[in-house]
Amino acid sequence: EKLKVPLTSTKENGMGLGLTIVKTIVEAHQGKISFKRNTDVGLTVTVSFPLVKDGFEWQAQK
């Protein structure tokens, strides 16, 4: 939950704005960002955007 809170950092001189800026950019382009804690160590961050070609949104084939 701390990842979603601006101005929170684990770095001594960190501003805590990195993910807030990324989230703003992703959402401005109708994208999504998600976080998944790994069982061993670390975090997986997934960023996805809608598929667009020639100004039209395409549905990705599954």
Asked if 14 and 1 touch (Cβ cutoff 8 Å), the reply is no
Is residue 62 assigned to a domain? no
Give me the pLDDT at residue 61, please: 58
Residue 36 within a domain: yes
53 falls within a domain: yes
Domain that holds residue 22: 2-57
pTM: 0.57
Mean pLDDT for back-to-back runs of 10 residues, the chain (62 residues): 62 70 86 89 87 69 55
- In angstroms and rounded to an integer, the radius of gyration of the C-alpha atoms of the chain is 15
20: CB partners within 8 A, 6+ apart: 6
